[in-house]
Amino acid sequence: MIKFKLVAFDFDLYYSWKSCFDNIEGVEVVDGDILQEKGDAIVSPANSFGYMDGGLDLKYSTHFGWDLEQKVRNKLESDYFGEIPVGQAIVVPTGLPEVKYLVSAPTMRVPSDISETVNAYLAFKGIIQSVLAYNRENNGVIGTVLCPGLGTGEGKMSASVCAKQMLRAYKVCLNNEMLRQGGLASAVNDHIKLLR
């Protein structure tokens, strides 16, 4: 089973995650610097084009080396016509032993305010799906995933909304709580709840 270590950069995000993910198996919430944590993979809450020269991605590029951005860009160009939509993610090797994989998961197409969207839900769903698929093809090499807030920086999404959206994605993907009844009305109601 995959373990997600949610690493908060501020107390608002930390307490929002703690509130939502309390007693959820396979999730640990910590406060601190994500680059000081140990894991097999680290999430880049990216833009759709894979550019890593701003925000948290800039810290990643400085830490892991600028060739990591080129690896992401090469994968996007070869497999996704140069950009990946919000809700999908890719896994690329970092080439470093301390964190072997980067999961590039756009929370926005380009830097913008996503506070009135379900993009954190879509991004976390994409993260989970891509890691599960990568593990199926590579003998389960990713055990622990380090994940920062999704859309809580440049995207201006509140910590509480981000946490609720991520919890919903986790439950859909790993607790089999996908919508099965109620038709479109149920889907619309679920969408509205994700925005609050």
Number of Cβ within 10 Å of residue 196's Cβ equals 8
Pairwise pLDDT comparison (181 vs 104), residue with the higher score: 104
Mean pLDDT estimate for the chain: 96
Predicted confidence (pLDDT) per residue in 91-109, tens digit: 999 999 999 999 999 999 9
pLDDT the model gives residue 153: 94
pLDDT the model gives residue 156: 97
pLDDT the model gives residue 1: 86
pLDDT the model gives residue 37: 97
Collect all residues with Cβ–Cβ distance below 8 Å to 6 and sequence separation of at least 6.
Answer: 17, 21, 27, 28, 29, 30, 147, 148, 166
Do strands 3-8 and 27-31 pair parallel, antiparallel, or not at all (unpaired)? Answer: parallel
pLDDT the model gives residue 106: 98
Q: Decide if pLDDT at 188 tops 90.
A: yes
pLDDT the model gives residue 26: 96
Whole-prediction pTM = 0.95
Predicted confidence (pLDDT) per residue in 108-158, tens digit: 999 999 999 999 999 999 999 999 999 999 999 999 999 999 999 999 999
pLDDT the model gives residue 181: 86
Percent of the chain with pLDDT over 70: 100
Separation CA 176–CA 150 (nearest Å) = 22
Stretch 153-172: mean pLDDT: 97
Would you state the structure tokens that stand for residue 134, as one six-digit string? 């990568």
Which domains are assigned to the chain?
3-194 (3.40.220.10)
Bridge partners of residue 101, in order along the sequence? 41, 93
Predicted confidence (pLDDT) per residue in 72-95, tens digit: 999 999 999 999 999 999 999 999
